């Protein structure tokens, strides 16, 4: 003990100086460590650089650096060096520093006072160090228990700088503080990114949930663009499969490639498989056509997720890159699955809406045709009138001609009557055709009064057989409504026929159906039966429901169709019993925009 | 055929049909009068000469069938040709049972219509002749005294003078005198002829 104590006493001052130096270093490290704990992600770079400068200055070396290792994320590459020193390549560049980076990944510190200390195995590394002028260096892996987060390095350009164990031990302590900063920053960034992703998801979901079929295309384009930008991918496309499994439609950001060019990928998507191919070489032999297409379009293989709705593949989301190949992390696939769900819902919604629209059209068509059945008698009557007149007139003319009584004036009159009656017959047929016509609704500003007039004209002879009378009370200043002519004719027809039916039960008193239009903000149409049983209280809420009927004959579709059409027009339906008997049904339709008037 | 052309009365709510039928029948030589409704037709004085009615089945207000019923109920006999845009079996049967000459569906062929009108006019003329004869016989019946009327009613039932005398409580000779007067006033040459006249006149046996 005594022998060992003596030299220290003999070198008391230098020991004191060393101790003082060490104390100052410990203090610096403690300060740096404490300071780094509260650094937030945006300030990381500045804080680390300041710390590096302090350490480099204190140690009297030439450069301090921190290289972050990160997969698929912007990495930090920070350093502080004495002025005039060339920026070295990061030691994480495995092609230049294979041996070093392997050791670091294993968690070991690499240090050398001169390059010659590096083993034979590190020949490549040594050459690289020589090129950047690092005679003496210490490299410390940064980790917080998981994989390596980065590397902390200190460099003396001049060879021979010693890196004693106690210094290295202290630098390791410092490295933990740096590692903590990197770890926190990474978590913050990933949290922020996750948040951004959540926002992307929710904005897409919102966009798709309020989507009409007509707006689908631009919304998908916009959505794909957002996803592509977010993921930093070059191309994205959405493929829609039909029920029989063929690719029906597709939407794409940037250049689109035909689905048919990728049979292998399409087949796999349709089986519900995820495709994640980062290299052309990974493609199997049976994907020869796909490979050709990739080469043709200069597209790096891609990642694709199937879109499922209720377990059925309805489409696929495909992303590819043009530039550098990137490994697709599990996280990315996870994100794509989530995005896929949003797009799948969008597709399902669109398909559902189109389906509903088709059903609605079929339904109104059926409704029209069945209403026509009821109208047959009156239409026959309507047509037989002009035909009777035409035939009589024509045969009169024949008789005149046969009898050689050619009175030109009479013949002229007869012919003009024939023409007029023929036009009347044509008008009946056209009215009929318009009613039967099944097609896409065409929305335009319409005068409800005109529509009421058209329909009641068709029905006027019906009133005779049904022993009812119809009276029109049309508002002269009715604003135009935005609607489809045929569908609104259907609404009026069904309402009027319903009114007729309601007054069918035998009862005393006049049977008058009043059809009234009025403006009260919107345009309203009201049919009022002045007699008839009215509607039972319990049925008031249900009469517009499909297949609901209180009549002995009747499908119960008439008023349901009215409601469907009116709702599709953004309008409302209603019903109430009249105090004096009978019931009133009314329909409110939004007014066409001012510009469309 | 009568010297005066029979009148055709057209009732149809459709102006163009009225006009064209008027024109057609006019070209066939018939004087035509057209009415827009049953009420309008009813407002016209009954036509004294031969005529027929061309009637639309389906009209607002009174329908053709209802007009037919109304005419029958008020004793106005008319030969009716119905025209209908949409004739159902029930309506047709009802109209024909009630004595319509024909029921034609629109559009009506001129040949069919004129043929039907001719039949209707013939029927009308025949009906008119029958009516005239009945009126004539009834006029003769009105010339009989009450006692002669009683004797007339019993003679046509096939009773003998003796039976009639008993039934009326008078002498057989008195019956003979009344009977001769009846035969004379009724211008009947035989009992058989008297029975036929009674039948045509609708004379019923007075209840005793």
* Mean pLDDT of the region A461-474: 79
Tens of pLDDT, residues A135-190: 788 999 988 777 788 888 888 888 788 888 888 888 888 888 888 888 888 787 77
The interface pTM score, or ipTM, of the predicted complex is 0.74
**CA distance linking residue B174 with residue B171, whole number of Å:** 5
Tens of pLDDT, residues A487-538: 888 888 888 888 887 777 666 567 888 888 888 777 777 777 767 777 777 7
Beta carbons of A384 and B24 less than 8 Å apart: no
**CA distance linking residue A556 with residue A285, whole number of Å:** 61
Task: Compare CB distances from A391 to B14, B59, B109 and report the shortest one's residue.
Answer: B109
**CA distance linking residue A350 with residue A209, whole number of Å:** 10
- Which phi and psi (to 5°) does residue B138 adopt? -65, -35
Q: CB distance from A388 to chain B under 8 Å?
A: yes
Q: CB distance from A390 to chain B under 8 Å?
A: yes
For strands B51-56 and B7-11, give the pairing: parallel
* Structure-token pair, residue A168: 């290295």
How large is the angle between the packed helices A44-59 and A12-37, nearest 10 degrees? 170
Q: CB distance from A386 to chain B under 8 Å?
A: yes
Beta carbons of B20 and A464 less than 8 Å apart: no
* Structure-token pair, residue A49: 């650089």
Task: Compare CB distances from A388 to B23, B63, B108 and report the shortest one's residue.
Answer: B108
Task: Compare CB distances from B16 to A377, A383, A389 and report the shortest one's residue.
Answer: A389
Beta carbons of B24 and A399 less than 8 Å apart: yes
Higher pLDDT, A579 or A557: A579
Q: What is the 3-state secondary structure (H, E, C) of A15-68?
A: HHHHHHHHHHHHHHHHHHHHHHHCCCHHHHHHHHHHHHHHHHHHHCCCEEEEEE
Asked if residue A547 lies in contact with residue A490, where contact means CB atoms within 8 angstroms, the answer is: no
* Mean pLDDT of the region A41-68: 86
Beta carbons of A391 and B63 less than 8 Å apart: no
Lowest mean pLDDT among A3-12, A40-49, A197-206, A542-551: A3-12
In this predicted structure, what is the pLDDT of residue A171? 87
Helix (H, G, I), strand (E, B) or coil at A460: helix
Asked if residue A46 lies in contact with residue A36, where contact means CB atoms within 8 angstroms, the answer is: no
Query: Alpha-carbon dihedral of residues B88, B93, B98, B101, nearest 10 degrees?
Result: 80
What separation in angstroms does the CA of A43 have from each of A35, A48, A182, A188, A491?
A: 12, 9, 11, 12, 67
Beta carbons of B17 and A392 less than 8 Å apart: yes
What separation in angstroms does the CA of A435 have from each of A381, A427, A438, A444?
A: 17, 12, 8, 17
Choosing among A388, A394, A424, A462, which should be mutated to test the B contact, i.e. which has the most B CBs within 10 A?
A: A388
Beta carbons of B108 and A414 less than 8 Å apart: no
- In chain B, % helix, strand, coil (3-state, to 5) comes to 55, 10, 35
In this predicted structure, what is the pLDDT of residue B2? 44
Beta carbons of B86 and A380 less than 8 Å apart: yes
Tell me the residues of chain A between 391 and 430 that have a Cβ less than 8 Å away from chain B. 391-393, 395-396, 398-400, 403, 414, 417, 420-421, 424
Q: What is the 3-state secondary structure (H, E, C) of A255-318?
A: CCCCHHHCHHHHHHHHCCCCEECCCHHHCCHHHHHHHHHHHHHCCEEEEEEEEEECCEEEEEEE
Task: Compare CB distances from A381 to B28, B85, B108 and report the shortest one's residue.
Answer: B85
Beta carbons of A392 and B58 less than 8 Å apart: no
Q: CB distance from A550 to chain B under 8 Å?
A: no
First and final C-alpha spacing in chain B: 45
Beta carbons of A391 and B108 less than 8 Å apart: yes
* Structure-token pair, residue A391: 């035939």
Choosing among A385, A417, A425, A471, which should be mutated to test the B contact, i.e. which has the most B CBs within 10 A?
A: A385
Tens of pLDDT, residues A544-554: 766 556 555 55
Compute CA A281 distance to the chain's CA centroid, rounded to the nearest angstrom.
Answer: 33
Asked if residue A563 lies in contact with residue A572, where contact means CB atoms within 8 angstroms, the answer is: no
In this predicted structure, what is the pLDDT of residue A562? 82
**CA distance linking residue A255 with residue B37, whole number of Å:** 76
Beta carbons of A389 and B19 less than 8 Å apart: yes
* Mean pLDDT of the region A206-218: 76
Does the pTM surpass 0.90? The reply is no
Beta carbons of B20 and A390 less than 8 Å apart: yes
In this predicted structure, what is the pLDDT of residue A433? 66
pLDDT in tens, chain B (208 residues): 445 789 999 999 889 999 999 999 999 899 999 999 999 999 998 888 899 999 998 887 888 999 999 998 888 889 999 998 766 778 888 888 888 999 998 888 999 999 999 999 999 999 989 888 888 888 888 888 999 988 998 888 888 999 999 998 999 999 999 999 999 998 888 888 888 888 877 765 454 4
Beta carbons of B58 and A465 less than 8 Å apart: yes
**CA distance linking residue B54 with residue B100, whole number of Å:** 10
Asked if residue A43 lies in contact with residue A32, where contact means CB atoms within 8 angstroms, the answer is: no
**CA distance linking residue B98 with residue B76, whole number of Å:** 13
Choosing among B106, B114, B115, which should be mutated to test the A contact, i.e. which has the most A CBs within 10 A?
A: B106
Locate the chain A residue with the closest alpha carbon to B24. A396
* Mean pLDDT of the region A92-104: 77
Shortest alpha-carbon distance between residue A513 and chain B (Å): 16
In this predicted structure, what is the pLDDT of residue A298? 75
Choosing among A379, A396, A414, which should be mutated to test the B contact, i.e. which has the most B CBs within 10 A?
A: A396
In this predicted structure, what is the pLDDT of residue B207? 44
Classify residue A535 by its DSSP letter.
Answer: -
Shortest alpha-carbon distance between residue B64 and chain A (Å): 12
**CA distance linking residue A112 with residue B127, whole number of Å:** 144
Contact residues on chain B for A417, CB-CB shorter than 8 A: 16, 19-20
Scan for tokens 């319409």, then name that residue.
A446
Shortest alpha-carbon distance between residue A467 and chain B (Å): 9
**CA distance linking residue A290 with residue A264, whole number of Å:** 6
**CA distance linking residue B105 with residue A465, whole number of Å:** 17
For strands A469-473 and A512-520, give the pairing: parallel
Compute CA A52 distance to the chain's CA centroid, rounded to the nearest angstrom.
Answer: 47
First and final C-alpha spacing in chain A: 109
Asked if residue A45 lies in contact with residue A78, where contact means CB atoms within 8 angstroms, the answer is: yes
Q: What is the average pLDDT value for chain A, to the nearest integer?
A: 78
Q: What are the residues facing A586 on neighbouring strands?
A: A526, A574
* Mean pLDDT of the region A565-592: 84
Contact residues on chain B for A385, CB-CB shorter than 8 A: 14, 16-17, 85, 106
CB within 8 Å of A206: residues ≥ 6 apart: none
* Mean pLDDT of the region A341-367: 73
Beta carbons of A395 and B110 less than 8 Å apart: yes
Beta carbons of B85 and A385 less than 8 Å apart: yes
In this predicted structure, what is the pLDDT of residue B55? 94
Look at residue A249 and tell me whether its pLDDT is greater than 80: no
Residue A518 burial class via C-beta count within 10 angstroms: exposed 0-12, middle 13-18, buried 19 and up: middle
């Amino acid at each position: 003990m005594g022998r060992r104590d003596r030299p220290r006493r003999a070198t008391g001052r230098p020991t004191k100086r060393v101790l003082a130096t060490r104390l100052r270093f410990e203090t610096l490290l403690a300060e740096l460590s404490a300071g780094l704990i509260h650094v937030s992600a945006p300030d990381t770079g500045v804080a680390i650089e300041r710390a590096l400068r302090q350490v480099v200055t204190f140690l009297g070396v030439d450069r301090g650096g921190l290289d972050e290792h990160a997969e698929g994320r912007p990495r930090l590459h920070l350093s502080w060096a004495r002025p005039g020193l060339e920026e070295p390549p990061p030691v994480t560049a495995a092609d230049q520093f294979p041996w070093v980076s392997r050791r670091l990944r294993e968690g070991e510190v690499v240090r050398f006072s001169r390059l010659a200390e590096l083993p034979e195995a590190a020949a490549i590394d040594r050459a690289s160090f020589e090129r950047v002028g690092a005679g003496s260096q210490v490299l410390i892996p940064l980790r917080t228990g998981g994989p390596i987060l980065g590397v902390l390095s200190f460099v003396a350009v001049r060879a021979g700088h010693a890196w004693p164990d106690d210094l290295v031990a202290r630098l390791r302590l410092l490295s933990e503080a740096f590692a903590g900063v990197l770890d926190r920053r990474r978590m913050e960034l990933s949290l922020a990114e996750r948040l951004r992703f959540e926002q992307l998801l929710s904005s897409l979901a919102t966009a798709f949930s309020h989507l009409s079929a007509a707006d689908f295309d631009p919304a998908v384009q916009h959505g794909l663009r957002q996803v592509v930008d977010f993921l930093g991918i070059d191309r994205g496309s959405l493929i829609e499969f039909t029920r029989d499994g063929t690719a029906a439609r597709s939407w794409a950001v940037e250049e689109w490639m035909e689905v048919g060019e990728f049979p292998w990928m399409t087949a796999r998507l349709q089986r519900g498989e995820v495709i994640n191919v980062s290299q052309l070489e990974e493609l199997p032999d049976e994907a020869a056509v796909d490979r050709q297409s990739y080469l043709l379009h200069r597209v790096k293989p891609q990642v694709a997720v199937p879109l499922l709705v209720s377990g059925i593949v309805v489409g696929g989301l495909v992303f590819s890159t043009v530039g550098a190949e990137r490994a697709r992390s599990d996280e990315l696939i996870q994100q794509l699955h989530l995005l896929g769900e949003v797009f799948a819902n969008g597709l399902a919604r669109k398909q559902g809406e189109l389906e509903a629209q088709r059903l609605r059209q079929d339904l109104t068509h059926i409704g029209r045709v069945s209403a026509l059945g009821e109208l047959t008698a009156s239409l026959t009557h309507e047509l037989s009138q002009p035909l009777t007149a035409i035939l009589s007139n024509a045969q009169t003319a024949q008789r005149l001609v046969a009898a050689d009584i050619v009175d030109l004036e009479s013949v002229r009159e007869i012919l003009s009557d024939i023409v007029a009656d023929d036009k009347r017959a044509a008008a009946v047929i056209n009215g009929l055709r318009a009613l039967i016509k099944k097609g896409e609704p065409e929305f335009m500003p319409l005068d409800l009064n005109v529509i009421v007039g058209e329909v009641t004209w068709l029905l006027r002879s019906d009133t005779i057989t049904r022993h009812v009378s119809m009276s029109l009370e049309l508002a002269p200043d009715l604003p135009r409504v935005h609607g489809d002519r045929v569908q609104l004719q259907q609404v009026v027809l069904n309402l009027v026929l319903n009114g007729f039916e309601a007054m069918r039960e035998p009862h005393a008193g006049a049977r008058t159906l009043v059809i009234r239009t009025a403006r009260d903000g919107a345009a309203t149409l009201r049919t009022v039966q002045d007699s008839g049983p009215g509607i039972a209280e319990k049925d008031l809420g249900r009469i517009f429901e499909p297949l609901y009927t209180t009549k002995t004959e009747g499908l119960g579709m008439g008023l349901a169709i009215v409601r469907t059409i009116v709702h599709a027009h953004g309008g409302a339906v209603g019903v109430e019993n009249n105090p004096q008997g009978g019931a009133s049904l009314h329909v409110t339709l939004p007014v066409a925009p001012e510009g469309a008037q | 055929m009568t010297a005066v052309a029979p009148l055709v009365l057209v009732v149809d709510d459709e102006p163009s049909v009225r006009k064209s039928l008027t024109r057609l029948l006019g070209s066939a030589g018939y004087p035509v009068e057209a009415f827009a409704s049953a009420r309008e037709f009813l407002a016209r004085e009954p036509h004294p000469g031969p005529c027929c009615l061309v009637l639309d089945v389906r009209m607002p207000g009174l329908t053709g069938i209802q007009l037919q019923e109304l005419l029958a109920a008020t004793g106005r006999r008319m030969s009716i040709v119905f025209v209908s845009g949409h004739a159902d079996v029930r309506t047709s049967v009802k109209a024909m049972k009630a004595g319509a000459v024909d029921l034609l569906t629109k559009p009506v062929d001129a040949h069919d219509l004129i043929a039907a009108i001719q039949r209707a006019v013939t029927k009308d003329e025949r009906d008119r002749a029958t009516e005239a004869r009945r009126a004539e016989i009834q006029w003769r019946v009105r010339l009989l005294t009450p006692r002669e009327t009683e004797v007339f009613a019993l003679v046509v039932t096939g009773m003998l003078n003796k039976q009639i005398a008993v039934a009326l409580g008078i002498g057989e000779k008195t019956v003979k005198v009344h009977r001769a007067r009846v035969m004379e006033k009724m211008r009947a040459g035989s009992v058989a002829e008297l029975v036929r006249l009674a039948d045509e006149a609708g004379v019923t046996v007075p209840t005793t």
